[in-house]
Amino acid sequence: MSVSKFTLPDVGEGLTEAEIVEWKVAPGDTIAINQVLVEIETAKSLVELPSPYVGVVGEILVTAGTTVDVGTVIITIRSHADEVDAAVPAEPVAQSGELADAAADAGSTITDEADKVLVGRAAPATMPTRRQRHGGVAAAHASMMPAASPSTAEPLAQPSPAASAGPVIAKPPIRKLAKDLGVDLAQLEGTGPIGDVTREDVLRGATQASVFRNIQTPEWPTDRDEHIPVKGVRKAIAQAMVKSAFTAPHVSLFVDVDATRTMEFVKRLKASTDFAGVRVSPLLIMAKAMIWAVRRNPTVNSTFTDEEIIVRHYVNLGIAAATPRGLIVPNIKEAQDMSLLELASALESLTITARDGKTSPAQMANGTITITNIGVFGMDTGTPILNSGEAGIVALGTIKQKPWVVDGEVRARYVTTIGASFDHRVVDGDVASRFLADVASIIEEPALLLE
């Protein structure tokens, strides 16, 4: 019998510790490759750690709720050589699919005694990743590995039509996403390498993606006080807000805008076959307006250091996202090169990933300017605090019908208030005003984007 030791990996950005949130396995469980072992929370995001081993859970060495340093052994996994098919390698097998991509992005590593094996390399495309909690190790291997050569084993039988109509093949994160979006997996046609349902399949089947859900008003708790430890994402938020508020001198501007033509444009996009299956909202037009205005006023897309001002001639567009775990600001890389359809798809994917708690540290790094959409809460406007390291942030307020003077007559129009804050060390009042006026002009007349 051999015992593999699974250590807490550095999931990126040089993080040194993480909290064990929830164990997904228990001692004695039979586990398969890529099966999620544990959910951890870092200062950046919530991460699921998949297993690179096939075996039986030995000891869980760290209890849920405990914060441990990177490199700490958190679980052991036993393997029985006499129960393992000879075709299966003894060392950890690389991951596949979406979990592998997430681990590769984060730079996860697994330590087995003195040997370190990179987690995140692609596995054979024919390898299913179905979770198995019970049964023997040999059975787990049989379901996880492709058929051996004729000289070593009988070929696997081809599935019958009845078998192909069986349970839907989908990884746990995909099932959770479908549940959150109200999508019936049985109604989807999987496009994955083994006929499994992918994230894209679920997004196509979703009629709407929203971070928020209506909830019932709860009863008052019996405890008079609730003590919430400041750690993880909340600790990172607090540190970033204090650094921004007391380092960069903020200046804020506001403007009321007739957004009627933007609402009409959004309605036409929703009816367009080109945008079928993609969520379209006024936020999309605001994002495009900001990219256009940045090109005309590049100073707002910069950062200040003690030695220099760095003006970026590209846009990594941050979108402030309120999630159950707190405020995070992932960004859309190279947004200036995207078409309207590409930007709409990127916004939808970013929102769903954030709500699902799967935003990686890399997705939140290197932002250049940010949008915060407080209109989803029904707020007219606000004074947003800069995302640390950036010189501009724009707040989009709610869009609702109000009386508005058009050609000397009072009419009902869709009106919004746009607020913005800037780092006054970098952005002077005239630049800030021109930038916000440019954004407002696009919201008033989206046809200007065609110039």
Residue 424 a catalytic site member? yes
Q: Are 139 and 132 in contact (CB under 8 A)?
A: yes
The C-alpha atoms of residue 230 and residue 132 are separated, in whole angstroms, by 36
Residue 417: both structure tokens together = 């208030």
Q: Integer distance in angstroms from the first to the last C-alpha of the chain?
A: 70
* 137: helix, strand or coil: helix
Query: How are the residues of the chain apportioned to helix, strand and coil, as percentages rounded to the nearest 5?
Result: 30, 25, 45
Enumerate the β-bridge partners of residue 301. none
The C-alpha atoms of residue 397 and residue 404 are separated, in whole angstroms, by 17
DSSP-assigned letter for residue 69: E
The identity of residue 126, as a single letter, is T
* 24: helix, strand or coil: coil
Active-site position among 134, 227, 250, 424: 424
DSSP string, 197-233: PPHHHHHHH-S---S----PPPPPPSSS-------HH
Which residues, in sequence order, are CB contacts of 55 under 8 Å at separation 6+?
Answer: 4, 30, 31, 77, 78, 79, 80, 137
Q: Are 312 and 305 in contact (CB under 8 A)?
A: no
User: Catalytic positions, please?
Assistant: 424
